[in-house]
């Protein structure tokens, strides 16, 4: 499969259907580009009304070519494109790029046309790119099967970056931004409607190009997460970072995306969880994506995330510290020896603590950077270095600062970023190969990104468990979509999850016995798979302290269920379990991403407050702990007001087990809702649970 894609990126021959002599037209530009950008294979213009195009022999039709082209670029309108695809498929063309719009993005009829075209291609094993795409460009091979005007605006330079985008506009903009930074770009591919080849499959192909050191993706919807996960796993194994933009982050954005591409919306927190699980860094937009590109190409391996801030302005030290906090980077606590060394070098009124304010003394002593940086180099707590130069110019020996900074970076391998808004100052640092940014938000943001992305990739991806063979015992018999509460709790207990002690009673006398067994305070609930939300029907009594009352409730609930005409399993008597805090653990099969676990604050306001984190199983207890630490209620976890710390390990273990259960169920469970899960200082217990089975199971 990757071979096929690679052959589409460096084919021995390309036919252009709808070729034009006009190098500004869609059918003319790719020919011009390929000749200018060094394509070494055969170019076959096809146009029935011309004998030569741009100085090349032109052919009337596909069948007139001297050989079967490996790649066809179809640069004709939608209707003709369908016919061309058929002709290509018949001839044995291996890949075709369809530029035309007017397919799936326009509605049902267009979708049908697109599906039909795909079928036609698949019958002969031909792969399709697009339709509705700006096409492919590989500046390594000179294969430009696309028409972006940006390659004229900003001349190409082959380099270690690959761009793969569902949007042609964004692939062009990202290319332009990178080139504007002076970075070389090899791959610029737009996948358009993705009738066949997706960003994920393209990413896997490009990841096989050994020269590529950074992959940038732009997505508006993720239809095939497995392929993208496969690409991420391959890239991770060969140490190739992926930074992705997934637009449509918000409701308004998703609405706009659906009218742009007609695609279904992905739940955004699930997208975050998916990217995190696969070590893909999510950038907000292409600007943020491109901003960090230079830093990735440095190949830094930061040992930690502790930042050192150095400036010749006290105010910039203050704002550097603020910005470090914004990006959740701790300031490095410099060792006493470092501070001593700094004190020896800096004037008396400078700060030797971090942030290091070398003050305007820099104006009179140009060696200060060269003096200060070696002291920092020795300090084991200095993981990341940020230098802020808000004011310099005539009188400052900027070349010396830049030289000293570059030497420090070379010798220590520590990530360094400089903020210098004055372009003449920034230019000097750039000439010495030091990364510079317009301000501290950008510079520190980039340092935070590379450090945190590195950490994310260091975490071993938990192995996905082999999907369990369907165990007949897994799901008990059930008539509707839901298991009853007793069945739901039993299922959890069978999988090793602690549940509250619960007795199912089918008579008042059984209730009396259960009350006696469970002690002075119990919860009584109706039990029927047909009533998943019992409390809404007044079928829960939470604080029953009296045996006679318990028995009366049996009669009352039984009568009510009978009146509702539902099949009743009986009445549950459950031990009253008092934990310190109520949590919830949910899990569901996402239609795109599959098993997804939600972990958060529990109780009756779960839906309203949404204080929860999304995790993609399998995940480790540590990852669940990290997710808990981001919740609004996180400050309570360690114990406050004299309360002991909560046993979040037990809670996270339940979340992990629920994820494993959903995977093992192999599609037969649609969702699980454990709420509340009572967590105390020792342990976590599921008090109520509802399991929803997949339709037809």
**Positions in 402-441 near a copy of itself (CB under 8 A):** 421-422, 438-441
- The side-by-side arrangement of strands in the sheet containing 135-138 is 143-146, 135-138, 185-190, 161-165, 214-219, 242-246, 281-283
By CB under 8 A, name the one of 173, 195, 550, 689 that touches a copy of itself: 173
Contact region for a copy of itself (CB under 8 A) — 228-236, 387-395, 469-477, 662-670?
Answer: 387-395
Which residue has 């203050």 as its token pair? 318
Pick out residues in 280-299 that bind a copy of itself (CB under 8 A).
Answer: 284-285, 287
Report the residue number, 490 or 611, with the smaller CB distance to a copy of itself.
611
Name the phi and psi angles at 131, rounded to 5: -70, -175
Interface pattern 190-229 for a copy of itself (x via CB under 8 A): ----------------------------x-x---------
Name the phi and psi angles at 635, rounded to 5: -60, -20
Contact region for a copy of itself (CB under 8 A) — 13-21, 42-50, 149-157, 668-676?
Answer: 149-157
Please state the closest distance from residue 148 (CB atom) to a copy of itself, in A.
8
- Pure H helices in 495-546: 508-518
Within 8 A by CB and 6+ apart from 587, the residues are 595, 596, 597, 598, 617, 658, 659, 661, 662, 669, 671, 672
Pick out residues in 444-483 that bind a copy of itself (CB under 8 A).
Answer: none
Report the residue number, 134 or 528, with the smaller CB distance to a copy of itself.
134
- The Cα 187–Cα 212 span in angstroms is 9
319 binds a copy of itself (CB under 8 A): yes
Please state the closest distance from residue 628 (CB atom) to a copy of itself, in A.
15
By CB under 8 A, name the one of 326, 344, 546, 555 that touches a copy of itself: 326
Report the residue number, 111 or 298, with the smaller CB distance to a copy of itself.
111
Report the residue number, 59 or 275, with the smaller CB distance to a copy of itself.
275
How far, rounded to the nearest angstrom, does the alpha carbon of residue 501 sit from its chain's CA centroid? 40
Which residue has 């294979």 as its token pair? 41
By CB under 8 A, name the one of 52, 509, 545, 610 that touches a copy of itself: 610
By CB under 8 A, name the one of 20, 54, 84, 167 that touches a copy of itself: 167
Pick out residues in 636-675 that bind a copy of itself (CB under 8 A).
Answer: 636, 640-641
Pick out residues in 50-109 that bind a copy of itself (CB under 8 A).
Answer: 101-102, 105-106
By CB under 8 A, name the one of 86, 318, 407, 493 that touches a copy of itself: 318
316 binds a copy of itself (CB under 8 A): yes
Please state the closest distance from residue 471 (CB atom) to a copy of itself, in A.
37
Please state the closest distance from residue 62 (CB atom) to a copy of itself, in A.
27
Pick out residues in 220-279 that bind a copy of itself (CB under 8 A).
Answer: 220, 247-253, 255-257, 259-261
**Would you tell me how many other CB atoms lie within 10 Å of the CB of residue 543?**
10
Pick out residues in 23-42 that bind a copy of itself (CB under 8 A).
Answer: 24
Please state the closest distance from residue 176 (CB atom) to a copy of itself, in A.
7
- The Cα 428–Cα 387 span in angstroms is 14
* Residues 286, 245 contacting (CB under 8 angstroms): yes
- Say how many residues touch a copy of itself, by CB under 8 A: 86
Within 8 A by CB and 6+ apart from 435, the residues are 294, 295, 298, 416, 417, 418, 429, 443, 446
Please state the closest distance from residue 326 (CB atom) to a copy of itself, in A.
7
User: Does residue 355 have a cis peptide bond before it, meaning omega lies within 30 degrees of 0?
Assistant: yes
613 binds a copy of itself (CB under 8 A): no
Q: Is 536 exposed, middle or buried (0-12, 13-18, 19+ CB in 10 A)?
A: exposed
By CB under 8 A, name the one of 123, 238, 464, 604 that touches a copy of itself: 604
* Residues 160, 56 contacting (CB under 8 angstroms): no
Q: Is 285 exposed, middle or buried (0-12, 13-18, 19+ CB in 10 A)?
A: middle
E strand spans, 478-575:
502-505, 522-527, 540-544, 570-575
By CB under 8 A, name the one of 122, 149, 494, 622 that touches a copy of itself: 149
400 binds a copy of itself (CB under 8 A): no
Please state the closest distance from residue 561 (CB atom) to a copy of itself, in A.
21
Strands 540-544 and 522-527: antiparallel
- The side-by-side arrangement of strands in the sheet containing 127-129 is 42-46, 13-17, 71-74, 95-98, 127-129
**Would you tell me how many other CB atoms lie within 10 Å of the CB of residue 637?**
18
Query: Residue 280 has which token pair?
Result: 């893909």
355 binds a copy of itself (CB under 8 A): yes
Please state the closest distance from residue 257 (CB atom) to a copy of itself, in A.
5
């Amino acid at each position: 499969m990757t071979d096929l894609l690679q052959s589409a990126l460096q084919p021995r021959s390309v036919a252009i259907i709808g070729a034009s002599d006009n190098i500004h037209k869609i059918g003319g530009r790719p020919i011009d580009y390929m000749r200018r950008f060094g394509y070494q294979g055969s170019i076959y213009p096809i146009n029935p009304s011309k004998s030569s195009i741009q100085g090349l022999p032109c052919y009337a039709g596909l069948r007139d070519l001297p050989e079967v082209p490996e790649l066809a670029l179809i640069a004709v309108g939608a209707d003709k494109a369908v016919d061309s695809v058929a002709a290509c498929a018949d001839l044995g063309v291996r890949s075709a790029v369809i530029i035309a719009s007017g397919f799936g993005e326009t509605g049902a009829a267009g979708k049908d046309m697109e599906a039909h075209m795909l079928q036609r291609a698949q019958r002969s094993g031909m792969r399709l790119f697009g339709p509705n795409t700006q096409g492919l460009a590989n500046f390594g091979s000179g294969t430009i099967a696309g028409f972006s005007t940006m390659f004229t605006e900003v001349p190409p330079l082959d380099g270690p970056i690959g761009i793969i985008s569902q949007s042609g506009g964004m692939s062009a903009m990202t290319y332009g931004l990178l080139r504007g930074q002076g970075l070389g770009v090899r791959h610029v591919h737009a996948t358009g409607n993705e009738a066949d080849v997706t960003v994920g499959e393209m990413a896997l192909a490009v990841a096989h190009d050994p020269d590529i050191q950074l992959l940038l993706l732009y997505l508006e919807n993720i239809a095939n997460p497995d392929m993208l996960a496969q690409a991420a796993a391959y890239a991770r194994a060969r140490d190739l970072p992926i930074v992705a933009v997934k637009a449509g982050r918000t409701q308004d954005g998703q609405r706009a995306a659906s009218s742009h591409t007609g695609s279904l919306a992905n739940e955004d927190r699930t997208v975050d969880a998916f990217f995190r699980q696969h070590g893909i860094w999510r950038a907000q937009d292409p600007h943020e994506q491109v901003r960090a590109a230079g830093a990735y190409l440095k190949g830094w391996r930061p040992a930690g995330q502790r930042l050192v801030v150095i400036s010749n302005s006290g105010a910039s030290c203050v704002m550097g510290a603020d910005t470090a906090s914004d990006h959740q980077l701790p300031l490095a606590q410099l060792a006493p020896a470092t501070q001593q060394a700094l004190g020896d070098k800096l004037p008396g009124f400078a700060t030797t603590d971090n942030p290091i304010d070398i003050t305007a003394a820099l104006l009179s002593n140009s060696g200060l950077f060269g003096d200060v940086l070696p002291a920092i180099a020795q300090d084991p707590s200095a993981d990341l270095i940020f230098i802020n130069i808000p004011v310099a110019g005539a009188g400052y020996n900027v070349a010396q600062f830049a030289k000293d900074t570059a030497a420090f970076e070379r010798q220590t391998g520590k990530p360094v970023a400089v903020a210098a808004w004055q372009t003449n100052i920034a230019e000097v640092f750039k000439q010495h190969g030091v990364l510079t940014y317009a301000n501290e938000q950008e510079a520190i943001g980039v340092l935070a990104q590379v450090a945190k992305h590195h950490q994310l990739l260091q975490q071993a991806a938990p192995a996905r468990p082999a999907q369990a063979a369907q165990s007949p015992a897994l799901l008990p018999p059930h008539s509707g979509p839901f298991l009853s509460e007793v069945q739901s709790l039993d299922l959890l207990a069978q999988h090793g999850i602690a549940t509250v002690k619960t007795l199912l009673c089918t008579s008042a006398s059984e209730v009396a016995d259960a009350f006696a067994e469970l002690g002075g305070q119990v919860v009584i609930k109706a039990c029927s798979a047909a009533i998943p939300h019992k409390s809404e029907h007044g079928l829960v009594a939470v604080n029953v302290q009296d045996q006679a009352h318990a028995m009366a409730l049996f009669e009352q609930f039984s009568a009510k269920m009978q009146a509702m005409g539902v099949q009743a399993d009986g009445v549950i008597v459950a031990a009253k379990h008092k934990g310190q805090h109520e949590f919830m653990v949910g899990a569901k099969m996402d239609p795109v991403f599959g098993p997804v676990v939600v972990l958060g604050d529990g109780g009756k306001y779960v839906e309203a407050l949404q204080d929860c984190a999304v995790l993609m199983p399998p995940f480790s207890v540590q990852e669940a702990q990290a997710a808990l630490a981001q919740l609004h209620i996180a400050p309570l976890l360690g114990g406050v007001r004299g309360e002991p710390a909560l046993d979040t390990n037990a809670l996270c273990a339940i979340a992990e087990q629920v994820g494993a259960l959903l995977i093992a169920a192999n599609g037969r469970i649609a969702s699980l809702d454990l709420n509340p899960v009572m967590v105390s200082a020792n342990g976590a217990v599921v008090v109520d649970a509802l399991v929803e089975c997949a339709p037809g199971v």
